[in-house]
Amino acid sequence: MPRKVVITCALTGSQDTCAKNPAIPASPEEIAQSAIDAAKAGASVVHIHVRDPETKLASMDEALYAEAVKRIGDSGSDVIINLTTGPGARYEPGGEDPAVPGPATTLKSPAERVKHILALKPPVCTLDVATFNFGESVFMNTPAHLREMADAINSAGVKPEIEVFDTGHIVLARHLIHEGHLKEPPLFQLCLGIPYGAPATPEAMVAMRNMLPGNAVWSAFGIGRSEFPMVAQSVIAGGHVRVGLEDNLYMAKGVLAPSNAALVERAARIIEELGSQVATPDEAREIFGV
């Protein structure tokens, strides 16, 4: 039987990208409709950030998450909801005193970063087991904060998708699994091509895959022009895939992606051309253990 491959669609992200591609959804209504359309195109999972509908910048407003989730549920779609816990982890040293946060700092407590998860209890949420240079700032997730967030996520009955951006992050994730803060079998997302993490290359993906626990379920993605090559590579290497406007704004050089659904459709074609099949949401639930 052909292997079933789960497509996750990352709908909007948190970067200031709405002006770069008008297809990026910003309001809860737009995000929900984009999720529904992506599901119809073959996505079994939708990964959701929210944005302020007025400024179109990243938000952590619980009400915006609640509205987007409700709209998806009310539509009758059976797509799996995956909410982010990434916002609230950025640190920029101050110009004169590096101990004083600069204007790009967004640091929030672990409790604030998972508040919407405890309230909405989605099937899946991300947990970024990662600290690394992210552009000119630092994406900072200390082990103590990760333990607190993981324990809260577990208490809500939510499956954490462990996002890792380099090999050392897998070492830390395995330590948290050993300590019992991350339950088994774990679900990993290999995030490739993000400066300054692991590059989006076959060698990096396979090296990270080989470091995962033997019972791990894993997916991978590359950003920008590496998005679709990494779809193919992940299928070949035995993983699942992620695409979406959070990760890539284009269908081809100079050609903006018209929608998240269009990116999902291309990923589905790649999966099928490689001899696998796109998993349904029910099949994805079984594969991911949610």
3-class DSSP state of 227: helix
For residue 110, is the peptide bond before it cis, meaning its omega torsion is within 30 degrees of 0?
no
Q: CA-to-CA distance for 238 and 275, rounded, in angstroms? A: 12
For the chain, give every domain's residue range.
Answer: 4-288
Total Cβ atoms within 10 A of residue 136: 10
The correct CATH number of 4-288 out of 2.60.40.3950, 3.20.20.70, 3.30.530.20, 3.40.50.2300 is 3.20.20.70
Look up tokens 């991350």; give the residue.
182
Please give the structure tokens belonging to residue 256.
């903006």
Q: Angle at CA 157, nearest 5°, toward 194 and 39?
A: 55
- Phi and psi based region of residue 13 (left: phi greater than 0; alpha: psi -120 to 50; beta: remaining): left
pLDDT at 135 exceeding the cut of 90: no
For residue range 104-127, list pLDDT tens digits in order: 999 999 999 999 999 999 999 999
pTM of the complete model: 0.96
For residue range 43-99, list pLDDT tens digits in order: 999 999 999 999 999 999 999 999 999 999 999 999 999 999 999 999 999 988 999
Please give the structure tokens belonging to residue 273.
């051309």
